A and B are shown apart, each in its own frame.
Chain A
Amino acid sequence: MSVSVETVKSVEAATGGEYKYGFYTDIESELAPKGLNEDIVRFISAKKGEPEWLLDWRLKAFRLWLSSAAEEPAWANVRYSPIDFQDAYYYAAPKQAEAPKSLEEVDPALLETYEKLGIPLKEQEILAGVAIDAVFDSVSVATTFKGKLAELGIIFCPISEAVKTHPELVKKYLGSVVPVADNFYATLNSAVFSDGSFVYVPKGVRCPMELSTYFRINTAETGQFERTLIVADVGSHVSYLEGCTAPMRSEHQLHAAVVELVALDDAEIKYSTVQNWYPGDKEGRGGIYNFVTKRGACRGRNSKISWTQVETGSAITWKYPSVILQGDHSTGEFYSVAITNNYQQADTGTKMIHIGRNTSSTIISKGISAGHGQQTYRGLVRILGKADNARNYTQCDSLLIGEKCGGHTVPYIEVKNQTAKVEHEATTSKISDDQLFYCRQRGLSDEDAVALIVNGFCREVFQKLPMEFAVEAQKLLGISLEGAIG
């Protein structure tokens, strides 16, 4: 697993070192009127044909969002001009006469889009062993391998569909990990969420393939508010991947997603993200505001939730994939690589809340800042009074490239139990001149040397990614650091 010179070169050749997913698909879209009010919330709900209870849930969230109880967070180390929430579309969907029943019915322009993104959706070309839900703006356009998964009792479908086909599951778990009132953006999402994936893995089932959702923002001036809910029943196991891209646009677009994971007794959920939303141009124009709430609940004994994220895109990232360790002997993990180049800003990290006994958590965070990039690791490790023998180990390393960037580390450690063992370590430094010279003396160019050293720096995290993603992540890393040197 490595980036060799030819990999870096071929990636450069293929992309010209630019954001390669920046194209726009010219497809007729149906848009809700611009702006945000109760009618828009009703419009979205009606479009999805939702039951009354869900509309009520949305409206409750919307009213809360309007009230002063929901406050736009100001504590993060990110700077941006105020967002005009009325100046965006909250619903955009490719126009289709009817929802496609099979892939044959999907608009070829959409299939082609995903083809270009490297995500073939036609079954015969599909990546072996990966089932994909493709979300285009506000709707899911295709889900592969549904039949095969259904044989095992695994539900993998757009959440809008799950609301109709499995209302009892959705009702039981939606908002149970990230409550409506959790934070400003989660409340907004609860009101206007569009689509996203729903996964349920029944008792004792090991999901035989990777489940994956690929998110694409296409239409201008739209926000994307997907909602993902994954429930792993007793003794089950699932690995889920998430990817995302958007066209290059000079204005900012808002992405405010909510992801909820629930792991019951002995269940395991592995959630991997390669986040590559459009980061804006070299001067910081455009790019996605990525304000995301991701949280997992280890409800059951011996359950495990593992987050792995590679964050290379977005103009601003604000996300803290977290684990609530309720079940005794449960385990939470967070592995992260985040890159901020040019004018990107990221305030990201995790929360590990230890409630049950003998719970353990591991946090490995690798931040790379270049150009004018500003990056903050923000993390909370909280050990509650009853969490006997809780363990946490945290390692946060920041690598800085260039004198204009910044790397910040803000861990919060709160321990109320004597038997806990909590350890946090962090370092910040630049790539050493010795390492660079050593590589160059062996014939590597500056950029190849940096890519090599940075890949080594991130290795612990990349090793946690599923194979296909690991290769993708390494390539992305090279591209993201383009122009960082010299």
Chain B
Amino acid sequence: MLEIRDLHTVVDGKPILRGVDLEIVAGEVHAVMGPNGSGKSTLAYVLSGREGYHADSGEVLYDGQMLLELTPEERARAGLFLAFQYPVEIPGVPNATFLRTAVNAVRLARGEEELSAMAFLKEARAKLKQLQMDESFLNRQVNVGFSGGEKKRNEILQMAMLEPRLAVLDETDSGLDIDALKIVADGINRLRSAGRAMLVITHYQRLLDYIVPDKVHVLAEGRIVRSGGKELAVELEKKGYAEFSSAA
């Protein structure tokens, strides 16, 4: 589904990604782990098309398409979803409006009917319940005044509503206490399916206790320096990243 080949990225004049190779097939969950500053978030931004994060060389194939040639919204409409490490506040815009606008934009792009207000509300309520979120979430302004945990749950709610094919979860566990982490992980696990791939970016192994990955990659100094099964995460937790930092 996703194929990253020799991806190089320079941000603010500094090389951050220095030849990343990664392949994910549908149905799999991959974890990318690495120390701070290793380029994990940069990878997420390059995949989603954030301004200032361009590939200087290399390519990314997404379902056979050249991903990097698409605008951010084209990527989103093609089923790529980024759960933000720091979800953005949009004052004055109710969550429901935002979600419905996004869902219908994506549905239209897929050639599906737009959801009516009623149908949308019904679906949103069902997802809210699964994520143990109060219905008042829909009326609140997008992420404004949300606690850290609420913001992360809101990301998962959006993901559940948008039904992406590839979800990139950027440090979704950061800032969550253990209860919130369980709820968020539950939400994510419920979305695991044969047609959907996930790329879980995390510094700590903690999240991977709940979202068990099929593969684990270590990103250090802009490269995938090691790949393995889920046991690699446990090993990293014990030993830390020290050995990778000096490797390059």
Contacts and interface: CB of A to CB of B under 8 A. Distances in A.
A456 B50 contact: no
Interface residues of B, number: 37
Nearest to B141: A456
A438 interface: yes
A459 B104 CA distance: 22
B72 interface: yes
Nearest to B106: A443
Contact of A440 (B72, B91, B94, B98): B72
Contact of A457 (B75, B92, B97): B92
A445 B108 CA distance: 12
Interface string A427-470: 00000111101111111111010001101111110000000000
Nearest to B76: A443
B244 interface: no
B38 interface: no
A229 B84 CA distance: 54
Given A5-B104, A5-B105, A452-B97, A437 B50 contact: yes
A2 interface: yes
A6 interface: yes
A441 B91 contact: no
Chain A interface, DSSP helix/strand/loop, else mixed: helix
A2 B94 contact: yes
A124 interface: no
B76 A441 contact: yes
Interface in B33-83: 48-51, 71-73, 75-77, 81-82
A444 B93 contact: no
A441 B105 contact: no
A452 B102 CA distance: 11
Nearest to B120: A4
A5 B92 contact: no
B9 interface: no
Contacts of B48: 441
B109 interface: yes
B51 A444 contact: no
Interface residues of A, number: 28
Most chain A C-beta atoms within 10 Å of own C-beta, residue among B48, B72, B88: B72
B87 A4 contact: no
B92 A455 contact: yes
Contact of B102 (A434, A443, A453, A459): A443
Nearest to A449: B73
Contact of A441 (B72, B90, B101): B72
Contacts of A441: 48-49, 72-73, 75-76, 81-82, 84
Contact of A443 (B93, B97, B162): B162
B203 interface: no
Given A442-B98, A443-B77, A458 B88 contact: no
Nearest to B45: A437
B30 interface: no
A5 B92 CA distance: 17
A4 B116 CA distance: 11
Contact of B91 (A434, A439, A443, A457): A457
A457 B144 CA distance: 13
B3 interface: no
A448 B87 contact: no
Contacts of B88: 432, 434-435, 437-438
A141 to B, nearest CB: 38
Contacts of B97: 2-4, 452
Given A5-B108, A460-B92, A440 B101 contact: no
A444 B92 contact: no
Contacts of A435: 88-90
B93 A453 contact: yes
28 contacts: A2-B97, A4-B101, A4-B104, A6-B104, A438-B84, A439-B102, A440-B49, A440-B76, A441-B73, A441-B82, A442-B98, A442-B105, A443-B77, A443-B105, A444-B101, A444-B102, A444-B105, A445-B73, A445-B105, A452-B97, A452-B101, A453-B90, A453-B93, A456-B92, A456-B142, A457-B91, A457-B92, A458-B92
Given A2-B100, A442-B106, 15 more contacts: A2-B94, A5-B101, A5-B105, A435-B89, A440-B71, A440-B73, A441-B75, A442-B162, A443-B102, A443-B109, A446-B73, A448-B101, A452-B93, A455-B93, A457-B91
Interface of B: 48-51, 71-73, 75-77, 81-82, 84, 87-94, 96-98, 100-102, 104-106, 108-109, 114, 141-142, 158, 162
